[in-house]
Structure 1
Amino acid sequence: MAFFLDKQREMLLLLLLLLMLLILSPPLIQADLNLIKTLCRNSDTPATCMKCVTSSENALVLNSVGIATSLVDCTDDQAKILGASMEELATNSSNDTRKPIYQTCANDYRRNIPPFLVSAKFSLREHNYEAAEYYVLKARRLDLYCHRDIESYKDEVQDEVYFNMTRFEEFADSACRIIEKIYA
């Protein structure tokens, strides 16, 4: 009988301890959202940064490297959108001067930028943050060249394309800011 009472006390004590841990532990979701907010506040466009990171299916369990990786993923998604937009512009353009510019931009967004972003994510996983930032900046540079080259073609380029270019830049810049914060 004494053995049975000791087991009951142990179980009751264990249950009480678990209950206290649940009640007194800080809310993990809030802590993760606070980390996202803190890191995104360091970017030039915190709202865009927050929207990208919180759209990730595992946003609430991301650490700072995961948040930077999520932003690189959003940058990559924008590159795909821009590649398709530039391809469409090249296909529909009857201007022999503009067509090769659109084709170059499409090639950059579809073929040249993605490997840089893959390398950035690999570097983040390997904790090589300077290399990660370098690769994001290489992708960003190609975007800037394209943006500069089509800036004067507002009559032919839809506002949506410029909006997507701005989003690409915001995601890439936010990723760089967070990466800098990680290794600073």
Structure 2
Amino acid sequence: MADATTLIGVSAFSGLAGALLTQIITGTFAFFADKRKYHNEARNFYRAKKTEIGENFFYMTGEKMAAIKKNIDHWKNWNDSRTEASLEFLNKELARLNAYMEKLDAENWKFNLIGLYFDVSLSHSEVIGANARSQQRYLRFLDISHKIRIAAETEKDVLYGEYALALFDMCAQYEDLCEKMGRDMQAVRSALLNDLA
């Protein structure tokens, strides 16, 4: 009888140990499967967000570069002999272009997140600094342009020299900015293509 009781106890213990071992193994596999699933979902979410931010940056930078190049063309044409009507048209175009850029900036907050996902040379603070320098150069350019319009003929030669230097400085600064923006676009493009590979 003791042997039968021992056999029943061993069988019950074996069944319990088997059930516990099965639960432990099933739980461990479920834990690692859930962990892997979570990491895959997080990686996919990150990749999707990175792609979205990169595409937004690429679009915004392309639009800004186009606007800057149009502004440069506008400024370089400003010193040609123009009638008041053509200058008024160019100024309206410039104002319309600047309004479009402000609208883009207001609607595309994702553009400012590029530094979180990509290694770009123009950080947010550098863009703000470049904008401040550009504004100073533009205001100097406008001041000299205004002085030329109201100056006596004898004073205009000196002012035209200042005008040419101000225009050159302003356009050079914007062209340098466009070059950096182009490099950043290429860096974002390369990073996005590497993610897809």
- TM-score, scaled to structure 2: 0.33
- TM value normalised by structure 1: 0.34
The structure where helix makes up a greater share of residues is 2
Structure showing greater radius of gyration is 2
